[in-house]
Amino acid sequence: MKIFLYIISILLLTSVLFADSIQNLGDRGSINWTTGLYTIKGYGAIQLPEKEPNRGKAYLKAKAYAELDAVRNLGQLIHGISFDSVTTGGDFDEVDQLMTGRVSGHVTGLQIISDKKVERNGSEVVEVTAVCSMFSSNSVSGQILQKKLDKDYDTIQNIKPKDIQQPKVDVKVSVPITIATQNDFPVELPKREITIEESFPYAQASNGAPYTSVIFDVTGLSLTRSMSPKIRLSNGDVVWCGANFDIDSLPDRGIVAYCENINEGKTHKYAGNNPLIIKVVNICGSPKIKCDMIITDHDAAILKNENIKGKFLDKFNVLVVCDHYKI
């Protein structure tokens, strides 16, 4: 009996964790921000025998319609995604082209993983389930993201970096730093600011070994998940934004991976054996999309110093732990 209860508890815990890692968007589908996959469903009605006596042909026709329905649902899903703190998928023409059919009926990278006959409202329909990578260069959202990041990179090249005072040692900064253009800065930090002594454990190397990744701890804050979040200082300066991200070289992953808790972040495949953990002190962005994270000046300096040794930012081994998030 105890073994049975133990197994049930494990199954319930697994189901809760799995559910929490997925952002459900109703009938349009869902997004797994940890694996970077869209899951989309589509439906096609099966013609009655009097209209199509050949039942196999009727099924295939319904399946073809269900696949197109899945493509439309993918367009609607991308339409609502936050790409950064000021733009969503609905701000890009590519999504509207997809939804209105001006793009081919098939989206490269969309894979049908199952099809079956189900009953809906008393009628037989074919239900197809499809998956698509968020970041593949062949995906719609991947192409949009690459265009946006190319624009961000050009902006970075035209702005003179602002140096952050380095702790103890003076090193060359290799991480992009730009001046924010938003109007909601400076951001007020929590009343009990994190001091250098308190933040230092988050940025202390283990036996001097290079860090293999960075985990930004945003627990307790209602972060909006997005495809290209930025790490900022309280005055709005961008510490890191992943502007040199190349989708062609990293087709199956994004700029950051979102996790539900620290343990999940530490065991993530991008974390490696020595992740750097930095506490995020606030979030910012537009009134509706707060996807950018604010860290202290001290932690920003540590981040940049350690990246010179570990190159984890260059490899995009970046994870964000958020237990509260907005859709």
Q: What is the pLDDT of residues 240-266, one digit of tens each?
A: 888 777 777 666 778 899 998 899 999
pLDDT tens digit sequence for 100-151? 654 454 566 778 899 999 988 888 999 999 988 888 776 778 777 877 777 6
User: Which residue, 123, 120, 119, 143, is CA-closest to 133?
Assistant: 143
CA gap 325, 327 in Å, rounded: 7
Q: Is 297 in contact with 233 (CB distance < 8 Å)? A: yes
Q: Report pLDDT for 242.
A: 80
Q: List CB contacts of 124: < 8 A, sequence separation 6 or more.
A: 45, 46, 117, 118
pLDDT tens digit sequence for 43-100? 999 999 998 999 899 999 999 899 888 888 888 888 888 888 878 888 887 777 666 6
Q: Is 44 in contact with 69 (CB distance < 8 Å)? A: yes
Whether 164 has a pLDDT exceeding 80, the answer reads: no
Q: Is 202 in contact with 279 (CB distance < 8 Å)? A: yes
Buried b / exposed e over 35-72, threshold 16 CB at 10 Å, is bbbbbbbbbbbbbeeeeeeeeeebbebbbebbbebbbb
Whether 204 has a pLDDT exceeding 60, the answer reads: no
Q: Is 305 in contact with 165 (CB distance < 8 Å)? A: no
pTM of this structure:
0.72
Give first-to-last CA distance, the chain, whole Å: 40
Which CATH number is correct for 21-133, 2.40.50, 3.30.1660, 3.30.1370, 1.20.120?
3.30.1660
Q: Report pLDDT for 28.
A: 72
User: Average of pLDDT values for 279-298?
Assistant: 88
Whether 160 has a pLDDT exceeding 70, the answer reads: no
3-state class of 19 per DSSP? helix
**Domain boundaries of the chain, sorted by first residue:** 21-133, 160-326
157 confidence band (pLDDT: 50, 70, 90): low
In this structure, the number of other CB atoms found within 10 A of the CB of residue 172 comes to 7
Q: Report pLDDT for 58.
A: 92
